[in-house]
A and B are shown apart, each in its own frame.
Chain A
Amino acid sequence: MAQPQGLLFSKEHEWVSVDGDRATIGVTDYAQNSLGDIVYVELPKVGSTIAQFSNVGVIESVKAVSDLYTPMSGEVLETNGALENDPSAVNRDPYGAGWLFKLRLTGAGEASSLLSADEYEKIATE
């Protein structure tokens, strides 16, 4: 399926929506579909500082535990608390209600190491 335009993507199947020095991060539709029914997410702590492409949490489906990486560096401003009781929102609406965390961006020029929707599309459909 086509990826939403205007987002940036990582090879690890995260998306990021950048708005000035703020960013919202989630996993792609391809990722949620590959994972299957998501039953738990463990997100980075609010206030912590995380580095681009580092392991910052886990996403668990019925069958498997998968590492979660951040596509950009920053300070964690907010996490999606609704996922604690309803992690399946990541399956239903990965680009909307299933968002994972928000960052105040601290790295410069990191966007250039991420993929456009069209570039990511090629990876996800390989």
Chain B
Amino acid sequence: MPVQYSSILKEHDAVRHRAGLFDLSHMGQFWLTGDSVAQWADTLTINAVATMKPWQARYNIFCNDDGGAHDDTIFYRVGQRWLLVVNASNATKMWQHLNAHLPPDGVALRNDHGRAALIAIQGPRSVAILQPHVDVDVAALRYYFCTEGNVDGVPAIIARTGYTGEDGFELFVAGDAAPELWRSLLRDGAEAGLEPCGLGARDVLRLEAGMPLYGHELTEEITPVQAGQSWALKMSKPTFIGKAALAEQIERDDFSRIVGLMMQDRAPAREGYRVTRDGAAVGEVRSGSIAPSVGNKHIATALVERSAATLGTVVEVEIRGTAHAANVVPLPFYKREK
């Protein structure tokens, strides 16, 4: 997946107003089968797996013992099987992690990373562009649910999921079928404005939509609680890796946390830049970008001390030695009208 096909901003515009096509085949795809998958996965993750309905999809985070994020993922309950999609950069680590915790029986794992393809179509025209290619009613598919179907006659799992803040679908197909499907969708979708989109546009889209990116807002050192992902944390589960550490962190409530920043001037905030308040260091920028869907402002996420995390706080981002004022603002920066 390239950073861009034509221009990051042009591709971003396509997804927000028409549709964009993403090749996400680099992401890790693991199949989990057996009677004990849900029960087992619930001991490794912060969100609930066992309560997922057939054909449901759910965001979930694997933590380490200290509560830091090992990876953030999506579980798809595909009939009686489970598809786990992990970040490309974490695929090897996650495969080892799953195998290291494998129970003696009841769970079988298959690693399709590098063999299975994943193509995402995202944007308001996704339904109209995709429908002629598939033999299921995609408009009827609910958000964060999936189904089996055929895309251009190729068996696929079709999920109404994505990472852009827009409506859209993710299509899981065999790797050897993907190139022709990619070309076919682009060819037929061109008239409706479908464009191939790269990692650059994807990063701007997800940042505007307030979605964490592993390695930035979530790391082995940054917990889901710090990253504002506590909505996915199910402390009612009896036990899971990292639970004790996360419980303690919530109890103490003194941790640095991810906030949204909006720059007051035209200077871009970028990863690693120091964040200060009245000149004293309070944290650092974790992601930053121009935000075409937020009035072309420069936005960022930053990990800052609790004292600087209150909405409305004015902080400074240090850019090449100069302090540039920024406001702490709510996440997400952008929410589509439904």
- A65's contact among B8, B266, B270, B298, by CB below 8 Å, is which? B270
CA distance A58 to B321 in the complex (A): 13
Q: Which of B's residues lie within 8 Å of A, judged by CB?
A: 3-4, 7-10, 200, 204, 266-268, 270, 289-290, 298, 320
Asked if A63 and B200 make an inter-chain contact with CB atoms under 8 angstroms apart, the answer reads: yes
Q: Which residues of A contact B3 (CB under 8 A)?
A: 63
Which residues from A are CB-within-8-Å of B267? 40, 42
Q: A62-B204, A63-B200 are in contact. Are A39 and B268 (CB under 8 A)?
A: yes
Contact of A40 among B8, B204, B268 (CB under 8 A): B268
The one of B9, B270, B320 that contacts A37, using a Cβ cutoff of 8 Å: B9
- In whole angstroms, what is the CA distance A73 to B200 when docked? 36
Give the size of the chain A interface in residues (CB under 8 angstroms): 12
On whether the beta carbons of A36 and B4 are closer than 8 Å, the reply is: yes
Contact of A36 (CB < 8 Å), options: B8, B270, B298, B320: B8
- A contact residues around B200 at 8 Å (CB): 36, 62-63
Contacting residue for A62 out of B266, B290, B320, CB 8 A: B290
Determine if A12 is an interface residue (Cβ-Cβ < 8 Å): no
* Cβ contacts A to B, 6 pairs, < 8 Å: A39-B298, A60-B268, A62-B9, A62-B204, A63-B8, A65-B268
Per-residue contact bits, chain A 30-55, to B (CB 8 Å; 1 contact, 0 not)? 00000011011010000000000000
CA distance A39 to B8 in the complex (A): 11
Give chain B residues whose Cβ lies under 8 Å from the Cβ of A39: 268, 290, 298
CA distance A60 to B298 in the complex (A): 12
Q: Closest B-chain residue to A40, C-beta based?
A: B268
Residues of B near A63 (CB, < 8 A) are: 3, 8, 200
- Please, how many angstroms separate the alpha-carbon atoms of A60 and B290 in the complex? 11
* The residue from B4, B266, B270, B290 contacting A84, defined by CB atoms under 8 A apart: B266
8 shortest A-B CB distances, which residue pairs? A37-B9, A39-B290, A62-B8, A40-B268, A60-B268, A37-B7, A37-B8, A63-B200
Return B318 CB to nearest CB of chain A, in Å.
14
Q: A42-B267, A42-B320, A84-B266 are in contact. List 9 more A-B contacts (CB 8 A).
A: A36-B200, A39-B268, A39-B298, A40-B266, A58-B320, A62-B9, A62-B289, A63-B8, A63-B200
CB distance from A84 to the nearest CB of B (A): 6
Which residues of A sit under 8 angstroms from B290, Cβ to Cβ?
39, 62
CB closest chain-B residue, reference A84: B266
CB-defined contacts of A40 to chain B, threshold 8 Å: 266-268, 298
Q: Give the residues in chain A near B266, CB-CB below 8 Å.
A: 40, 84-85
Minimum CB–CB distance from A126 to chain B (whole Å) comes to 21
State the CA gap A37–B289 with chains docked (Å). 12
Q: Whole-angstrom distance from the CB of A69 to the nearest CB of chain B? A: 16
